[in-house]
Amino acid sequence: MEPGIFRDLLTGFAGVATGVMSGAFGVGGAVISTPAIRALGCSAALAVGTTLPSILPGVVTGSWRYRSGDYIRWRVVAFTAPAGIIGAVTGAWVSPRVPGEGHLLMILTALILMWSAVNMMRSSRTTEVVELRNNLGFVSQSTDLPAVFTGACAGVLSGLLGVGGGIVMVPLYRRWLGLPIKNAVATSLICVGCFAIPGTITHSLGGGIDWRFASWLTIGVVVGAPFGSSMTMKMSDKKLQRVFGLFLALIAVVYGVGEFLSL
Q: CA triplet 217, 221, 225: central angle to 5 degrees?
A: 165
Q: How many angstroms separate the CA atoms of 18 and 166, rounded?
A: 13
Half-sphere CA count of 146, side-chain side, radius 13 A? 17
pLDDT score at 127: 40
Mean pLDDT by 10 residues, the chain (263 residues): 89 93 80 85 84 87 81 92 87 78 75 78 52 49 82 82 75 85 91 84 88 94 92 87 84 76 68
The answer to whether residues 23 and 229 touch, using CB atoms and an 8 Å cutoff, is yes
pTM for the complete prediction? 0.78
pLDDT score at 209: 93
CA atoms 203, 204, 207, 208: torsion sign: positive
pLDDT score at 13: 95
Q: CA triplet 93, 114, 191: central angle to 5 degrees?
A: 50
pLDDT score at 126: 46
Question: Buried b / exposed e across 191-224, counting CB within 10 Å, b at 16+?
Answer: bbbbbbbbbbebbbeeebbbeebbbbbbbbbbbb
